[in-house]
Structure 1
Amino acid sequence: MVDEVAVRPDSVLAGFESTTRRAWASVWALGFAVFVVTTTEMAPVGLLPEIAHDLDVSSGSAGVAVTAFGLVAGLLAPVSTVVSGRFDRRALLLTILSVFTAGNLLSALSSSYGLFILSRLVTGVIHGLMWSIVAAIAIRLVQPKDGVRATAIAFSGISVALVLGVPLGSSIGNIGGWRAAFGALAVLSLLSLLVVFLFVPRLPVVESVAWSDFRRLAGSRALLAALVVTCVVVVGNYAAYTYVAPFLIDERHIASSMIGPYLLLYGIAGVAGNFISGFALDRLGSPAKVLVALGLAVVVSLVLLPLLNSRYAVVVLLVVWGAAYSGLPVALQTLVLRSGGDSGQAATSTYVLVFNCSIAMGALLGGFAIDTSGASAPIWTGAAFCLLSVLVSLMVTRTSSSAEATEGP
């Protein structure tokens, strides 16, 4: 099977020695779409207290908005990737953004808890497909020599969402209510749809993913280890992060109007974490070693958050947490792609499944913890799982070292 990411077929850029400005505009349009999708996924995190209060449910119940989204997105990622395999990639992108526009509008208009959860399910249904096709689209939009840069621009939308999208949504929610925040997201989704329609060219499918590709990966121990690490660390992070707003308000007595700025610091640190992780991967050459180092940083920051009362300490720990966790997916994705071999897109789709289902599981565990044991409980739960991920990463490191020694001269 030929991975679509690795192939540049006949495209609108064929015959050009350098990537055109129009093509770069299409890459930035893709990055904008990634920003909108990621902001929609994470929006409830900064709005959780307002949603819970307005819909008259507990913080844990409000967190189901994250659980439902992640669970549906994860479980349907491989299915949607296979089913949509023969469709034009631009058409798929427009479909995804249309669904996100409708889903965010439904969230904004929700008058009950049930309707709000339904709106999250609507967007979650197609969310997993987005992550399965973004890298392939980015690379096909430009000349081969510009593929890495195009992919970086496209995925920069994730960092920008953490830096601007989630904190801005929290601020809008604090001023005009959480429904206003989702209304703004609906407008952004529609704007992104129009931008993609105007700038992204038609992209006929090159090579689709078949179920046999997933069966081929089933026997890969390296991929299994990568997915186990992904599951445990993501569960831990989102058990804590989903309920960071109630923790800051109830345990550190921070005003709800300041949640946006605190999340902004977390997001800015996350951008730095991406660069730190990339640098570490270049120097160490081992994703597992990077996972151990960053995982330990997450554990330390989570353990100290409930123990230190100083607001200055909270700021520092949020920065460390944001930087360390945001660097983890870079190493995880590298580990998954190396483990997937020639079936890179199928491996990525499986990674999307595990990642999103783990977000759902983490939000669910954190919700149970906060409802039964208080606002600090999700932080402790997250620390425990992240520590487990470090232990698993150490096992992967030792296994890799043993394999290298066996294959050595």
Structure 2
Amino acid sequence: MAKRNNLLIFILTIGVFGILNTEMGVIGLLPSIADHFDVSISKAGWLVSSFALAVAVSGPILPLLFSGINRKTVMLLVLGVFVLGNIVSIFTSNFTIALVARVIPAFLHPVYCSLAFTVAAASVSKEEAPTAVSKIFIGVSAGMVIGVPIASFIASATFLQMAMVFFAVVNIIVFIATFLFVPSMPVEERLSYGAQLSILTRSVTWLSIAAIILLNSAVLGVYSYLAEYLKTVTNMSLNAISLMLFIYGGANIIGNVVSGKLLANNAIKSILSFPFVLGVVYILLFLFGQFSVPMAIITLIWGILAGIGANMNQYLMMSSAPEAPDFANGLFLSSCNIGTTIGAAVGGLFISEMGTPYVVLVGFLSLLLSFATILLRNYMFKPTRQLSG
């Protein structure tokens, strides 16, 4: 049983990597895509922004609609759509078709990811659930951070379409592995749509959503401008910046592993102390960000904390509505996207008005508000519910 569960979680982790890789991998390909389709770089950017918008819109809706269908069937459907989208992207020479081939799978992105979190948690005991979910987050981190340089390297070493082939191959492998090794998983205790939607009537749900938006804004609002910070403040070369991004990504994966143990052992203290620890890192970033060696150390610690924070966000949402996991995970994904959008926008505002070093202010402001929100959430549901909802 343990071996089967480990295999299942491994397949889900690679599946999440494939889907996030499809989403984020094109970021490093935008100049090549603009040349290939003979469009401006800003228009090529629609391939990124339209995907993110589709995820944000479908996050609370489609996981709810698919919540009563056999989970294996849903996984195969989503993976199949991603494979088809990847194949169309390889062969099309029309930008509009390429855009449609990305947007349609994007709507199903939250369905697979929410299922991955739900199935991983359900495959182990309640005490081991945070650790199982943290393994899925390794796939999320790898897809978001490692997929970008891999796709860029493939495109530069060969040509653009081979990077698209890489996206397709990963999803095809996961589709085959899911078909062969994942057992049928019918939904035995299906909640009605009304029962699932009823979690929106709870204040704990909305406090959790607010906390996730603020925590994600605190991390991604600053991280979105890391490359710019390293270029203009630390004065690093492009190769050094790429290395720093790799350090951040690898540290993010370490954070995912660490977070599972932290949440399993003492979730409340870990989540309440997180804003303070990250706040200290941002103070160090502001004071020593112009020096290369301290900046490398700061980036390593920051990356670890970012991985921990992502897991804490998912824990906050899931512990608020454990009886409706698919819908709750959909809300989690949408909240993260909203937090990233707000954080990046506010961070950009601080940079334009005050300069690049002051992007940390979006982090401080978000952390302050997130701590107040988490404290209120914990206070309102004491002593029996606390962070567990």
Shorter-normalised TM range: 0.7 to 0.9
SS, match of residue 70 in structure 1: helix
Given candidates 83, 96, 105, the residue that maps to 1:101 is 83
Matched, 1:392 2:369: yes
User: Which amino acid in structure 1 is aligned with residue 299 of structure 2?
Assistant: L
Structure 1 distance, partners of 2:89, 2:25, is 11
Which residue of structure 1 lines up, in the alignment, with residue 315 of structure 2?
Answer: 334
The Cα of 1:163 is off from its aligned counterpart by 6.2
Distance 1:242 1:207, change over 3 A: farther
The Cα of 1:265 is off from its aligned counterpart by 0.8
Question: Retained in 1: the 8 A contact 2:138–2:256?
Answer: no
Cα deviation per residue 1:310-329 (whole Å; 9 max; x = unaligned)?
A: 43344233223312222112
Q: Identical aligned pairs, as a percentage? A: 23
Q: Tell me which moved more, 245-254 or 35-44.
A: 245-254
Distance 1:114 1:322, change over 3 A: farther
Which residue of structure 1 lines up, in the alignment, with residue 334 of structure 2?
Answer: 353
Distance 1:41 1:98, change over 3 A: same
Distance 1:35 1:43, change over 3 A: same
Given candidates 277, 285, 289, the residue that maps to 2:268 is 285
Structure 2 distance, partners of 1:51, 1:259, is 22
Which residue of structure 1 lines up, in the alignment, with residue 68 of structure 2?
Answer: 86
Structure 1 distance, partners of 2:55, 2:111, is 8
Which residue of structure 2 lines up, in the alignment, with residue 9 of structure 1?
Answer: none
- Structure 1 unaligned spans of 5+: 1-18
Structure 1 distance, partners of 2:137, 2:155, is 26
The Cα of 1:89 is off from its aligned counterpart by 0.9
Cα deviation per residue 1:147-180 (whole Å; 9 max; x = unaligned)?
A: 6665444443224435643332333244335543
Structure 1 distance, partners of 2:241, 2:92, is 23
Structure 2 distance, partners of 1:277, 1:62, is 36
Distance 1:130 1:300, change over 3 A: farther
Which residue of structure 1 lines up, in the alignment, with residue 387 of structure 2?
Answer: none
Question: Retained in 1: the 8 A contact 2:346–2:362?
Answer: no
Distance 1:162 1:119, change over 3 A: same
| Alignment RMSD | 3.8
- Structure 2 unaligned spans of 5+: 385-389
Question: Retained in 1: the 8 A contact 2:204–2:320?
Answer: yes
The Cα of 1:362 is off from its aligned counterpart by 5.0
TM-score (norm 2): 0.80
Q: Tell me which moved more, 269-278 or 158-167.
A: 158-167
The equivalences for 1:246-257 within 5 A come to 248=230, 254=236, 256=238
Distance 1:392 1:239, change over 3 A: closer
Given candidates 185, 189, 208, the residue that maps to 2:190 is 208
Distance 1:259 1:179, change over 3 A: farther
Matched, 1:37 2:43: no
TM-score (norm 1): 0.77
The equivalences for 1:141-290 within 5 A come to 150-161=132-143, 164-242=146-224, 244-245=226-227, 248=230, 254=236, 256=238, 260-281=242-263, 282-283=265-266, 285-286=268-269, 288-290=271-273
Which residue of structure 1 lines up, in the alignment, with residue 57 of structure 2?
Answer: 75
Structure 2 distance, partners of 1:87, 1:241, is 37
Question: Retained in 1: the 8 A contact 2:252–2:303?
Answer: yes
The Cα of 1:126 is off from its aligned counterpart by 0.4
Question: Retained in 2: the 8 A contact 1:34–1:158?
Answer: yes
Structure 2 distance, partners of 1:236, 1:150, is 25
SS, match of residue 218 in structure 1: helix
User: Which amino acid in structure 1 is aligned with residue 40 of structure 2?
Assistant: V
User: Which amino acid in structure 2 is aligned with residue 338 of structure 1?
Assistant: S
Structure 2 distance, partners of 1:31, 1:251, is 36
Which residue of structure 2 lines up, in the alignment, with residue 123 of structure 1?
Answer: 105
User: Which amino acid in structure 2 is aligned with residue 285 of structure 1?
Assistant: I
Q: How many residue pairs were aligned?
A: 381
User: Which amino acid in structure 2 is aligned with residue 321 of structure 1?
Assistant: W
User: Which amino acid in structure 2 is aligned with residue 90 of structure 1?
Assistant: K
Structure 2 distance, partners of 1:127, 1:172, is 24
Structure 2 distance, partners of 1:329, 1:50, is 31
SS, match of residue 116 in structure 2: helix
Question: Retained in 1: the 8 A contact 2:90–2:165?
Answer: yes
Given candidates 118, 124, 137, the residue that maps to 1:136 is 118
The Cα of 1:401 is off from its aligned counterpart by 6.4
Distance 1:373 1:183, change over 3 A: farther
SS, match of residue 286 in structure 1: helix
Structure 2 distance, partners of 1:147, 1:243, is 33
Structure 1 distance, partners of 2:278, 2:162, is 36
Distance 1:61 1:386, change over 3 A: farther
Question: Retained in 1: the 8 A contact 2:135–2:257?
Answer: no
